[in-house]
Structure 1
């Protein structure tokens, strides 16, 4: 598990609490249920309205992966692929079927099964590239959903403040209560900005980063699987994968994947 998200959020809210305490303000004054319900509830509502129900389900399911972090680093899959290459050279591609249960992730398991089934190189690359494109599309949908929440939240906070100020104007004949009422009116704006920059945008950014790590790992598996099928020597395969893991995916392949995703969306 990668605790970066939890550490970052706790640090951000901790700094906010420290500021409030040092200013001599009251934390309870910011925890007003009405504006919090409006901002958080309406933000999620308009986020759902601006996407399909399937997009919402994908985004909600991605929260667990977002908290856990990447399944494994791209470099961690290299020893597995080198081991598969050694086994394939000594016992043949069919023997890789014995490694399915110990595969580090479903994508690698799918690639091994295709090798054991004797899939030809062109069909194998097409199958793996399609899976990479589909996974990248799901990751992008989830990140875009939470990014949209980060865009809506500040505006909805302003809406809440306007509604509260309208109520304040109805109480101009009670000057003793105007100060607290005006202060409470701006709590909605605060929660709009707070939720956008402390919750929604960090979630979107983390999902984008996890998706990039996953894409790099899947591309290493793709290239490694094709090299194993071609009979590449294990030490050559390791050198090549280590070189690939130290650079970003080629612009051509990245552009191709992004174009495919845009067509799907």
Structure 2
């Protein structure tokens, strides 16, 4: 919920400073509904024009990611390393064919069932099963597998980053849309040029609310949210990079412990389980 807390703090400091400086809210509150209708409506219309319905739904899902934050914690990395350790050890000791019951039906696998969060993550299960299946099909060239996995992970990351790009595009457009609303307010003011200065001042002030809102919404809301979503996606992408690192290390002929250690080093530093934590988890790994 840090984005909400940050935005509340932003509003308090901006409008608190305005109030301390002697500013009055009457003209802002009077103009706010109309300016928000013009600027917000134009932004939504531009957003719909620029994106497909699939992308629109994707952006709405991205808002949930912003509020919840990254899905993966340190324990999730420990679980992933434990699962991968079991598979690479099984492949090394009993051969790639021993993996078949688990990778063909992961929803029924007692190994995947031990880690329900991984089992429910279709990206993780697809990566693990697809590439271990390729190993069973004698596609054991580590360089070829690494290149293929890298391309797939890059594609997945770019798809997940699209909502962030879409939100940033709207953030870039909001100041200009605020100017559009302000210009309309100036046009309205010029049509009433015969009014007293006090009335004209109020009308000009109302027009400037549009410029203010456009800039505030761009740099105080949409831009930071787009940046936050990008950070969440990039942090979550590191989780899937661990899978690639372990499988490629296994194909290079490393021992299961070394393959897992290679994957552990790929995890983000603040989420990376320590060597002793990983070793303890592997020793306690028990799958019926």
TM score, norm. by length of structure 2 = 0.73
CA contact (8 A) 1:83 1:234 kept: no
Closer, same or farther: CA 233–35 of 1 in aligned 2, 3 Å: same
Correspondence for 2:194 among 153, 163, 173: 173
Alignment partners' CA distance in 2, 1:234 and 1:7: 44
Task: State the match for 2:83 in structure 1.
Answer: 84
Correspondence for 1:189 among 205, 211, 228: 211
1:70 deviates by: 1.1
Task: State the match for 2:42 in structure 1.
Answer: 42
Count of aligned pairs = 244
Task: State the match for 1:236 in structure 2.
Answer: 258
2:165 corresponds to 1:144: yes
What do the CA deviations read for 1:211-241 (whole angstroms, capped 9, x no partner)? Answer: 2112222111222234456674343234322
2:110 corresponds to 1:98: yes
What SS class does the counterpart of residue 134 from structure 1 fall into?
Answer: helix
CA contact (8 A) 1:224 1:237 kept: yes
Correspondence for 2:241 among 213, 216, 219: 219
CA contact (8 A) 1:165 1:182 kept: yes
Radius of gyration: which is bigger? Answer: 2
Range that drifts further, 225-234 or 188-197: 225-234
TM score, norm. by length of structure 1 = 0.79
Correspondence for 1:114 among 126, 130, 133: 130
What do the CA deviations read for 1:117-157 (whole angstroms, capped 9, x no partner)? Answer: 54544686566445423321222321111111111110111
CA contact (8 A) 2:241 2:266 kept: no
What SS class does the counterpart of residue 71 from structure 1 fall into?
Answer: coil
CA contact (8 A) 2:181 2:207 kept: yes
Alignment partners' CA distance in 1, 2:59 and 2:160: 8
Alignment partners' CA distance in 1, 2:190 and 2:117: 66
Alignment partners' CA distance in 1, 2:231 and 2:2: 12
What SS class does the counterpart of residue 30 from structure 1 fall into?
Answer: helix
Superposition CA RMSD, Å: 2.8
Task: State the match for 1:61 in structure 2.
Answer: 61
Task: State the match for 1:12 in structure 2.
Answer: 10
1:190 deviates by: 0.6
CA contact (8 A) 2:238 2:266 kept: no
CA contact (8 A) 1:216 1:245 kept: yes
Structure 2 residue runs without a partner (length 5+): 103-108, 270-288
Range that drifts further, 215-224 or 35-44: 215-224
